[in-house]
Amino acid sequence: MVQVFSGLFFLAISFSLIIVLLVISVPANLDTLTSFHPLALFFSCISAFLIAFYWLYKGIQNAIRVLSFHDKSASKSIRELVFPTGKPAPRSFLVALGGGSGLGTLLKGLKEHPINLTAIVTDTDDGGSSGRLRKDLQILPPGDIRNCLVALSSSESLMSKLFQYRFAEAGDVSGHSFGNLFIAAMTGVLGDFGNAVRESSSILSIKGNVVPVTGENVQLKAAFSDGTEVIGETAITSEGKRIIEIGLQPPSAKANPEALNAIDRADLVVLGPGSLFTSVIPNLLVPEISEKIEKCSAQIVYICNVMTQPGETDNFTAVDHVNAILEKTLLHRIDIVIVNNRRVARALMAKYEIQGQFWVAPTVTWIEDKGIRVITGDFLSETDFVRHNSAAIAEVILSLLNEPKKSKIR
């Protein structure tokens, strides 16, 4: 209350100075006031007014803080009356589909912006820790889900670091990450993988939602150019042959209702980045997902990879990535493709070429010939690895969200 009284005191002084200023500005023979300089008095008046405002502001804030201990609803009403915030601006809805580290890179760049974000994650992984847990416990693979949860976590908290901690190569838990084991244990406790993901999301205080594309235990099945067929994500990538057809086993997997609802609300649907045949395309092999995206009012954006991937996209250009999506899934519409056009530094590129990975050529004209809008730019982040620059990609995505909405497609 002392602060309030101080504010009122200085407010009285400021008004008194204003009156004096008005009086001396009137052309009259006021000899008693000729010693006051009008400009000096003006600044004194302003100073007193600002001091008054400061103390009133602080005093009312403290009064509200004290009141909140006794009546939170009254405190909230008074705060809104004195310090109106107005109606919050409506947030855009964005859905991102993918898996692996590529989707995590995108999510990290988007999570700090005021958007409603849902990540729809593929669940066909059958290798490493996820594959072992999937086989031993008959649960959905948690690895890609875990990566997205950590990417959307509020901060680099201890729990985030724990989720990514991987046990050393010793004992029964060798190679497992703590987060995978945690999600597996939570599934056992709650009896449902979806509930386990939701509870894990709360623990990590993530900024958005992460949902598996389907609740069914599905696997990838691929046919190659030499006529052979294999089942399993790991087996497909290890073959190193050109993929002619790819599908799910079983082919009629039902979509996660949460994923369908998110697509319904979406202002923008983003595919990728990530492994084309084992992270991006698997989501689109769920019939209901592709059909829902095809008919949705949102624009569909594909973020093309910056490097080829051995055993999946050998010798692929950007237009080859686009063709694979349009020809090998039930989705036949892509509105925008985001393509990196900066070449990787020669020294770093040499390291990748040894492993059979090469820069993806933009082939902008060929994509535009399909009636697809192409956004090019420097989207590279180069350290010891070549990745997308999450901040640069996020900037493009946000600009697309701010563009005028098209009429609904139904």
Query: Of all residues in the chain, what percent carry a pLDDT higher than 70?
Result: 76
**Can you tell me the distance from the alpha carbon of 98 to that of 388, in angstroms, rounded to the nearest whole number?**
14
The arithmetic mean of pLDDT across residues 95-105, rounded, is: 94
Tell me if 232 is assigned to some domain.
no
**181 falls within a domain:** yes
Same domain assignment for residues 159 and 94: no
Separation CA 214–CA 93 (nearest Å): 21
How open is the CA angle 66-71-77, to the nearest 5 degrees?
Answer: 90
Host domain of residue 23: 2-82
Query: What is the end-to-end Cα distance of the chain in Å, rounded?
Result: 61
406 Cα distance to chain centroid: 23
pLDDT of residue 88: 47
Residues 30 and 105 in one domain: no
Q: Is the pLDDT of residue 65 over 90?
A: no
Q: Which range has the worst mean pLDDT, 268-272, 301-305, 343-347?
A: 343-347
pLDDT at site 107? 96
Number of structural domains found in the chain: 3
Question: Domain for residue 221, yes or no?
Answer: no
For tokens 């999946």, the residue is 312
Residues 105 and 150 in one domain: no
pLDDT digits (tens, 9 = 90+) for 337-371: 999 999 999 999 999 999 999 999 999 999 999 99
Strand partners, 214: 255
Length of the chain: 410
Check residue 172 and give its pLDDT: 81
Question: The domain that contains 352 carries what CATH number?
Answer: 3.40.50.10680
List CB contacts of 256: < 8 A, sequence separation 6 or more: 120, 194, 211, 212, 213, 214, 215
Let me know: does 141 contact 130? Beta carbons within 8 Å: yes
Q: Which helix (H) or strand (E) holds 373?
A: strand 373-377
Over residues 204-228, the mean pLDDT reads 95
- The confidence score (pLDDT) of residue 158 equals 78
Grade residue 174 by pLDDT with cuts at 50, 70 and 90.
confident
pLDDT score of 40? 52
Mean pLDDT of 316-321: 98
Nearest Cα residue to 283 out of 130, 118, 400, 151: 118
Q: Taking residues 76-85, what's their average pLDDT?
A: 47
Cα(53)–Cα(370) distance, integer angstroms:
62
- Predicted local confidence at residue 78, as pLDDT: 47
259 and 350 part of one domain: yes
